[in-house]
């Protein structure tokens, strides 16, 4: 497996695993030497219910800046956190649909920018069909800075890009990972892309240029679930 081509890897982060002869994603434990304490090895499922419950309660009681701090604190007890970061997604219906997929896949939280992005409006909550009450939405003032902090905490940031050379199933999503998706049309912003360790795409056989962002998010989240459950490509 190739090493990260995007962003910078702080000196205290572990080398990316899986550089084997066949270039296949690594499936073994991953541990972080992050200065914030890092996160532990992956387990069979996704997310961490205790961490998610604590984070959900904290997000209800704090502003955007504090919510980011609470997210970083929750990572300390999460075993193999799976996060979804939405970069400039402005349609509340898409946010609601992403929340529904994130809940189904056991994601720890969904991260959104505080400005120029959809927030938890009544429309988003309606589309989420209850997922807005079960999956924390962390609103941050600077998404690029938050992604840097996640990397320092031991996570790998994987961005979605329709033109990426690698497919999602060619990159290890079984460990601590934040999946980043941009708005339809514009995609990931420059600073967000710069903070991605990998860019990945999804198989696309039709004439339409790209998928709806909520559909792409669901597919990437379920690829992470497939890898974490040790399933072959034909079983999900």
Structure confidence at residue 233 (pLDDT): 56
Q: Over 70: is that where the pLDDT of 105 sits? A: yes
CB atoms within 10 A of CB 54: 17
Q: What is the CATH number of domain 49-234?
A: 3.40.1280.10
Q: Identify the pLDDT of residue 21.
A: 31
Q: Residue 186 CB: number of other CB atoms within 10 A?
A: 9
Q: Could you report the per-residue pLDDT of 5-42, keeping only the tens digit for each?
A: 444 444 444 444 444 332 333 333 333 433 334 444 33
Instruction: For residue 84, report the phi and psi dihedrals to the nearest 5 degrees.
Output: -120, 120
pLDDT score for 205:
78
Cβ neighbours of residue 32 under 8 Å, at least 6 residues apart? 13, 14, 38, 39, 153, 154, 176
Helix residue ranges per DSSP H, the chain: 49-60, 64-75, 92-104, 122-128, 131-134, 143-152, 190-194, 213-228
- Comparing CA positions, the residue from 195, 66, 183 lying closest to residue 117 is 183
* Contact between residue 132 and residue 124 where contact means Cβ atoms under 8 Å apart: yes
* Short-list 8, 7, 2, 83, CA closest to 39: 83
What's the predicted TM-score (pTM) here? 0.78
189-214 tens-digit pLDDT:
999 999 999 999 998 777 777 789 99
Residue 100 has pLDDT above 90, yes or no: yes
| Extents of the domains making up the chain | 49-234
Span 75-95, pLDDT tens digits: 888 888 999 999 989 999 999
């Amino acid at each position: 497996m190739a090493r990260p081509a995007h962003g910078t890897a702080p000196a205290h982060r572990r080398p990316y695993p899986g550089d084997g002869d066949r270039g296949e994603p690594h499936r073994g434990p991953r541990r972080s030497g992050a200065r914030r304490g890092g996160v532990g090895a992956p387990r069979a499922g996704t997310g961490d219910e205790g961490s998610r419950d604590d984070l959900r309660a904290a997000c209800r009681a704090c502003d955007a800046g504090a919510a980011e701090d609470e997210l970083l604190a929750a990572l300390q007890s999460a075993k193999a956190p799976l996060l979804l970061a939405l970069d400039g997604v402005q349609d509340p219906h898409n946010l609601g649909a992403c929340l529904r997929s994130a809940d189904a896949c056991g994601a720890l939280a969904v991260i959104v920018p505080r400005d120029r992005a959809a927030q938890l409006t009544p429309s988003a909550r309606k589309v989420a069909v209850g997922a807005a009450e079960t999956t924390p939405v962390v609103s941050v003032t600077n998404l690029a800075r938050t992604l840097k902090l996640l990397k320092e905490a031991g996570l790998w940031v994987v961005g979605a890009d329709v033109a990426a050379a690698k497919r999602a199933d060619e990159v290890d999503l079984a460990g601590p990972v934040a999946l980043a998706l941009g708005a339809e049309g514009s995609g990931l912003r420059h600073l967000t892309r710069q903070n991605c360790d990998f860019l990945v795409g999804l198989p696309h056989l039709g004439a339409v240029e790209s998928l709806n962002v909520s559909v792409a998010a669901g597919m990437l989240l379920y690829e992470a679930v497939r890898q974490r459950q040790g399933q072959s490509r034909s079983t999900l």
